[in-house]
Structure 1
């Protein structure tokens, strides 16, 4: 089994690289599960999701979910063979979990608000990590957010911080890690 972490900036080519990498790891008897974590909440995101689906064609079995993976993946898990899975992407997953916390005033969040979000995010990331061993190969894609300016608003700073911590958590346990820049992957682990 291999766990591979792929990171890079927005529109860096990381998803396309991850898709091709995982397809190349298929032994011919495995399903390729595409765990799509985004929620198409506006027209721009709907277009992006449609483009991703078009690129994948019929090579993938898509599961759309950003949490409760033991439940949402149970119908695609095989007892006979270990399949491959691509998770795209960790940062979308995290943002969706954060936005479930409707009672937080993100203009003036409290430490209790941050703790509440941390618990929710870490719970789902841990569930994702726990299900990884049910697959032969897993690639987790995520955005690298820590290379830009510090956001001027609390929600942006919190998102950058929690995403960075979860990226580190996945990268630490990954067998391999890649950083993609302008469509060029660089192996960093």
Structure 2
């Protein structure tokens, strides 16, 4: 498993696509791209469309953020390379699924994390067992200020713990800063 992390607009996606192309060419196969974003407004729709334009047309795309471990399990072996982009977007969507219309100040964040943990563990297990090369993109959120609002602070904590688990299991970890890839593990 390869983990690519960095700040927003740092070049993570470009690196993931480059590595996926290289690996797919070496293995002689195609790429499955698991896209976890939702088009919740016009701006996000434009971002998703822009991302689609940067990927090769022959890549297969699966749009979804739920049960990504199952998707990896089902597609392992059919695709020599699977790209999952992005963990922090996936977590955001899962958190909003769990919270619904609840007041963020009234949420039981311990219960939320207990609900998320088996899903993240299943994702990690599916990556470890996969016959495919897995490339995962995630945002590094720990370099900024501590957010003012409880939901943002808890999201930062949850994403940080998930990223640590991913990095621990990954064979390679890349940090992308201003478009520059710095390999920090592997």
TM-score, normalised with respect to structure 1: 0.89
> Using the alignment, how far apart are the partners of 2:93 and 2:101 within structure 1?
14
1:172 pairs, out of 160, 168, 171, with 168
> Using the alignment, how far apart are the partners of 2:172 and 2:184 within structure 1?
8
Q: Please tell me whether residue 100 in structure 1 is matched to residue 97 in structure 2.
A: yes
Calculate the aligned-residue CA RMSD, in Å: 1.8
Match runs of 1:130-145 below 5 Å: 130-132=125-127, 133-145=129-141
- Looking at secondary structure, tell me which structure has more helix per residue: 2
Contact 1:82 1:134 in 2 (8 A): no
Q: CA deviation at 1:43?
A: 1.1
Per-residue CA distance 1:115-163 (angstroms, 9 max, x = gap): 2211232222122112222232111100000110110000100110000
> Using the alignment, how far apart are the partners of 2:122 and 2:67 within structure 1?
7
Q: CA deviation at 1:71?
A: 4.5
Runs of at least 5 residues in structure 2 that lack an aligned partner in the other structure: none
Contact 1:63 1:73 in 2 (8 A): no
Corresponding residue pairs, total: 182
**Partner in structure 2 of residue 24 of structure 1:** 22
TM-score, normalised with respect to structure 2: 0.90
Runs of at least 5 residues in structure 1 that lack an aligned partner in the other structure: none
After TM superposition, which residue ranges in structure 1, 4 or more long, deviate above 6 angstroms?
none
> Using the alignment, how far apart are the partners of 1:171 and 1:141 within structure 2?
11
Match runs of 1:103-122 below 5 Å: 104-109=102-107, 113-122=108-117
**Partner in structure 1 of residue 82 of structure 2:** 85
Q: Larger deviation: 21-30 or 36-45?
A: 21-30
3-state SS of paired residue (2:28): coil
